[in-house]
Structures are given as C-alpha cells and as structure tokens.
Amino acid sequence: MTDRPHDPRRRRVLATAVAAVAAVPFANGLLARQGWAADLPHLSEDDPTASALKYRHDAADAPRSKKSGVAAGDQYCHNCRFIQGDSGQWRGCDIFPGKAVNADGWCTSWLPKA
C-alpha cells in the first residue's frame, strides 16, 4: 500500500471519467433508437393489429374516450407511454414493433406516459 496524500482533484477527475464512460451506452442506444425509428415503415391503418386496436394516424378520427383520467381530446401517440423517442412525426411504438406510428395518432392501447 502507498501512503499518498488524498487528492480531491484526482477523485473528481476519476468520478467524471467513470460517469462519462457509464453514459456512453445510454447515449448510443437513444441515438440508435431515434435514427432507427426514422427508417421504419409507417404503420398502415389497414394492418390487422392496427385495425383491431382502432389505430388512426389522426387521433381526431379515432374513437377516443376518457381513459386513466385523461380527456379523450388530450390522448395522442406522442403522449402515450408506448411511444419511442421524444421527437419526430413518425416514431416507433412498443405495441407495433418494426413500424412507425404518427405522433398525432391514437389506438385503444393508449395509456398516459408514467
């Protein structure tokens, strides 16, 4: 063991380096996910699952009703807990893997973001 004196600057530099390295996988995953979503084919309203869940590209055309305490007019894909990413008109959705849904759309699986 060494008897080196405690150096707070060294500790801060090491803590910053560890935090930066730990953040890389999350940043890469977020960027990859958003880029990936932009390349996805758009979900068709005629897709059997989309049809069963009454998905519409325009939520105004969907049979929305008050759900989880949220007024029907305030329910959109962009504020659904299953939407992926925070920007873009077309984004991935956990309910429709491999397809992009319209941020202004809606389906019966809608739930508010947690």
Applying CB under 6 A, does 85 fall inside the site for ligand SF4? no
Q: For ligand SF4, which residue of 37, 40, 95, 100 counts as binding (CB under 6 A)?
A: 95
Which residues inside 27-66 make contact with ligand SF4, applying CB under 6 A? 55
Bridge partners of residue 101, in order along the sequence: 91
Rounded Cα–Cα distance for residues 52 and 35 (Å): 28
Q: For ligand SF4, which residue of 37, 40, 77, 100 counts as binding (CB under 6 A)?
A: 77
CA-to-CA separations, 62 to 14, 35, 68, 69, 106, in angstroms, rounded: 53, 28, 17, 18, 7
Binding site for ligand SF4 (CB under 6 A): 55, 77, 80, 82-83, 93, 95, 101, 105-107, 109-110
